[in-house]
Amino acid sequence: MRISNEIWNEALATVVYLALIEIHSQHEQRSFVSNENPDNNPARYSTERLMLKHLPKRTIPGTKSAELLKLSKNYEPPCMADQVPVVWDHGDRVWITDVDGNEYIDFTSGVLVTNVGHSHPEHVKAIQRQAERLMNCYSFPTPERVTLSERLVKLLPDNLDEIFLLTTGSEATGAALRIAKRFTGKHEILSFYGGFHGRTYGPMSVSGSLGTRRKFGPALPGGIIAPYAYCYRCFYDKTYPDCDFYCLKTLDRIINSSSSGDLGTIITEPYQGGAGFIFPPEGWLKALEKWGRERNLLLIVDEVQSSFGRTGKLFMIEWQDVRPNMLCLGKGIGSGMPASALAGESKIFASMLPGEMSSTCGGNPLASAASHAVLDIMQKENLPENSRKVGEYILKRFQELQKRRHCLGDIRGKGLVMGLEIVENQQNRQPAPELTQKIIFRCGEYGMLLGKVGLYGNVIRIAPPLVITEEEAEIGISILNKVLTELG
């Protein structure tokens, strides 16, 4: 009897899965980076040691998690993000242990935050050392703050010659929008469908999704929103590359029909995170930059999510040599410590007078010390390159699964950030949000933490810490494959 490739691949995956279980059952001791690998070098992790991390199925929430989730329901508002019902206790690199003692492989990085891994020893030590010295001084300069600003400037395109250190991503994008209006003297901002730039009022007003704006009343005036390059679900029903960036060619028509003649700025993400990890075609961002330059518009690129190695470069603008007038940074810059930054051209910042914009905690010495450690770790362990290499491996494996799993409609990403768009089938492309939720929950039962995003709630977020190895990635891939098999 002739065995099809699909059946053979399924059998091989099952054998590997059972082998992992057997190895796990024969070993009771685990090795942690912080104990046996103080330099946190992923190369020291052998395949056998990683296989010991195989994760048995568990009931979630566990008893202690259920108790704490009840407290959360009683005393915390329901407006926070809906997650798998697991209460985290502690983390180590790409591994999370909940309050019931269950271990999980983390494919979320929180929400693309812990780029250097959970509780990296050098990161922790830098925070501890600084906490003993000084934690807040408002806007008084500290060595940590001014040297971090210098360091960031030297890593960025040479036109971005000043840094404004802040605390959150919304704070960075909000500052960028206000400064842009001051510098240009114009109040209109062009942004894109599906864009997410934060939840405070300024960033919310240029965000392009109902989920961010729903029933909050009128947005700030001046927002103009245009279709983004979401090629899997093209707003214009075009096909790339035959479309020749048709969505950019329509911008003038949109501006002419929506603007009061006061457009001064463009803001965009290099890929859209909240909308479903939507990656525009290669060259789209550079073409948008050119379009804006020809019309004397400022360009703000929001890299709060995509920076600090996430896509395989320290900054995603490096892939296409894009030179924005302002660049918003966050999340990975602190890798767990709240920190953000706005990089910009000095001539733009000069439009602000002393004292017109400051931040209670922005650039505080504790966050600045943490960010220094992040940059040290990035360089020492070459995490952007690891992101690129392991990301290519994971993407290839998901593309193999896509051939057998008809609910995997689109797979897109770069480095260690990917979106798996879940559909009813690959032919009709109908979003399947309920199936998406089931997949995420079942993966949680098998010990894999995932997130959900997307305009239709049907995109699985793949974003592990950048320290992940191919062997660890394969554990997560195997779990997802098993779940997709079970759910059909």
- pTM above threshold 0.95: no
Q: How many domains is the chain built from?
A: 2
- Residue 113 falls within a domain, yes or no? no
Q: Are residues 190 and 276 in the same domain?
A: yes
pLDDT tier for residue 113 given thresholds of 50, 70 and 90: very high
Alpha-carbon dihedral of residues 153, 159, 163, 167, nearest 10 degrees? -100
Q: Mean of the pLDDT values across residues 342-348?
A: 98
For position 81, what pLDDT does the model report? 75
Cα separation, 309 vs 315, whole angstroms: 6
Q: Same domain, yes or no, for 129 and 187?
A: yes
pLDDT class for 84, splitting at 50, 70, 90? very high
DSSP string, 142-202: -HHHHHHHHHHHHHS-TT--EEEEESSHHHHHHHHHHHHHHHHS--EEEEETT----SSHH
Residues making up the chain, counted from first to last: 488
Domain boundary among 316, 349, 381: 381
Token pair listed for 377: 């770790």
Distance between CA atoms of residues 233 and 253, nearest Å: 21
For residues 286 and 297, membership in a common domain is answered with yes
Strand partners, 268: 301
Strand partners, 118: 93
- 57 inside domain: yes
pLDDT in tens, 312-343: 999 999 999 999 999 999 999 999 999 999 99
SS3 211: helix
- Angle at alpha carbon of residue 411, lines to 60 and 384, rounded to 5°: 85
Residue 207 DSSP class: -
Distance of CA 345 to the CA centre of its chain: 25
3-state helix, strand, coil in the chain (%, to 5): 40, 15, 40
Q: Which residues contact 359 (CB under 8 A, 6 or more apart)?
A: 139, 165, 166, 167, 171
314 and 445 both lie in a single domain: no
408 vs 399: CA distance, rounded Å: 9
| Residue 55 scores a pLDDT above 90 | no
pLDDT at 8 over 90: no
Q: Could you give the percent of the chain with pLDDT greater than 90?
A: 84
Residues 373-419: tens digit of each pLDDT: 999 999 999 999 999 999 999 999 999 999 999 999 999 999 999 99
Last residue of a domain, one of 338, 355, 381: 381
Picking from 266, 248, 246, the residue whose alpha carbon sits closest to that of residue 188 is 266
Same structural domain, 274 and 180: yes
Q: Given this model, what pLDDT does residue 22 score? A: 41
Is residue 256, in this structure, part of any structural domain at all? yes
Higher pLDDT pick, 3 / 195: 195
Contacts of 229 (CB under 8 A, 6+ apart): 240, 245, 247, 278, 280, 281, 284
Locate 404 and state its tokens. 């057998």
The CATH number of the domain holding residue 419 is 3.90.1150.10
Which CATH number do you get for residue 139? 3.40.640.10
Considering the domain architecture, whether residues 277 and 413 belong to the same structural domain is answered as no
Can you list the positions of beta strands (E) in 15-166?
Answer: 88-92, 95-98, 103-106, 162-166
What are the residue ranges of helices labelled H in 295-364? 346-349
- Cα-Cα-Cα-Cα torsion 462, 466, 467, 468, nearest 10 degrees, comes to 20
Q: Are residues 457 and 344 in the same domain?
A: no
Number of Cα atoms under 13 Å in the Cβ half of residue 122 = 18
Cis geometry, peptide bond prior to residue 61 (ω within 30 degrees of 0)? yes
Q: What distance in Å separates the CA atoms of residue 453 and residue 478, rounded to the nearest whole number?
A: 22
The secondary structure element, H or E, covering residue 341 is: strand 340-344
pLDDT one-digit tens code per residue, 207-229: 998 888 889 999 999 999 999 99
> Are both 388 and 377 inside the same structural domain?
no
Per the domain annotation, does 114 fall within a domain?
Answer: no
* Gap between the Cα atoms of 375 and 332, Å rounded: 10
* 21 and 170, same domain (yes or no): no
Residues 132 and 245 in one domain: yes
**35 φ/ψ angles, rounded to the nearest 5 degrees:** -95, -55
Q: How confident is the model at residue 31 (pLDDT cuts 50, 70, 90)?
A: very low
Q: Quick check: is 145 in a domain?
A: yes
- Residue 100's pLDDT is 97
Amino acid code (one letter) for 364: N
Domain-terminating residue out of 327, 355, 381: 381
Beta bridge partners, 225, equal 191
Q: Is residue 356 a part of any domain in this protein?
A: yes
Torsion of CA 148, 152, 158, 164, to 10 degrees: -70
Q: Are 418 and 277 in contact (CB under 8 A)?
A: yes
Instruction: Report the alpha-carbon distance of residue 116 to residue 371 in Å, rounded.
Output: 11
Supply the pLDDT for residue 53. 56
- Rounded to whole angstroms, how far apart are CA atoms 193 and 460? 20
| pLDDT value of position 82 | 80
Q: What is the pLDDT of residues 144-193, one digit of tens each?
A: 999 999 999 999 999 999 999 999 999 999 999 999 999 999 999 999 99
Domain assignment of residue 340, given as a range: 123-381
**289 shares its domain with 350:** yes
DSSP state, residue 133: T
- Claim to verify: residue 372 and residue 386 sit in the same structural domain: no
Radius of gyration of the chain (CA): 23
Q: Which helix (H) or strand (E) holds 263?
A: strand 263-268
Would 362 be classed as within a structural domain? Answer: yes
115 in a structural domain: no
- In sequence order, what are the beta bridge partners of 88? 98
